[in-house]
Amino acid sequence: MSTTHQLDGHMTGTAGPPSDGDSGHRTAGLITIDSVVKRFDGPDVLRSVSLDAQPREMVALLGPSGCGKTTLLRSIAGLERIDRGRIDIDGTTVSGPGIHVRPEDRRIGMVFQDWALFPHLSVGANVGYGLGRDDRRSGRVEETLELVGLGGLGDRYPSTLSGGQQQRVALARALAPRPRALLLDEPFSNLDTNLRIQVRTEVHRLLTELGVTTVFVTHDQEEAFVLGDRVAVMNAGVIEQLATPATIYETPASRWVADFVGEANLLEGDAHGHRASTLIGSVNLDVARTGAVDVVIRPEHLVLEPGHDAVVELVEYYGHDHVSIVAYPDGRRFRVRATGAPRFERGQSVTVRSDGSPSSGFPVG
Distance CA 15, CA 133 (A): 10
Residue 292 contacts ligand ATP per CB under 6 A = no
* Shortest Å, Cβ 45 to ligand ATP: 4
Sketch the per residue contact string, 45 through 84, with ligand ATP: x for CB under 6 A, - otherwise.
x-----------------x-xxxxxxx-------------
The 194-233 site mask, x for binding ligand ATP (CB under 6 A), equals: -------------------------x--------------
Closest CA to 260 of 228, 213, 218: 218
Q: Is 265 in the site for ligand ATP (CB under 6 A)?
A: no
| 295 interacts with ligand ATP by CB under 6 A | no
- Compute the distance between CA of residue 167 and CA of residue 330 in angstroms, rounded to an integer: 49
Least Å from the CB of residue 70 to ligand ATP: 3
Distance of alpha carbon 36 from alpha carbon 50, whole angstroms: 7
Q: What is the dihedral of CA 166, 169, 171, 176, to 10 degrees?
A: -170
State the number of binding residues for ligand ATP (CB under 6 A): 14
Question: N- to C-terminal Cα distance for the chain?
Answer: 34
Going by C-alpha positions, the residue among 237, 225, 218 that lies closest to residue 71 is 237
C-alpha Rg value of the chain to the nearest Å: 24
6 is a site residue for ligand ATP (CB under 6 A): no
By CB under 6 A, what part of segment 137-196 binds ligand ATP? none
CB 108, min distance to ligand ATP, A: 17
Restricting to residues 11-40, which ones interact with ligand ATP according to CB under 6 A?
40
Q: Residue 139, exposed/middle/buried by CB under 10 A (0-12, 13-18, 19+)?
A: exposed
Q: Which residue is nearest to ligand ATP (CB)?
A: 1
Distance of closest approach, residue 183 Cβ to ligand ATP, in angstroms: 12
Which residues fall within 8 angstroms of residue 34, CB to CB, at 6 or more apart? Answer: 50, 85, 86, 87, 88
Contacting positions for ligand ATP (CB under 6 A)? 1-2, 40-41, 45, 63, 65-71, 219
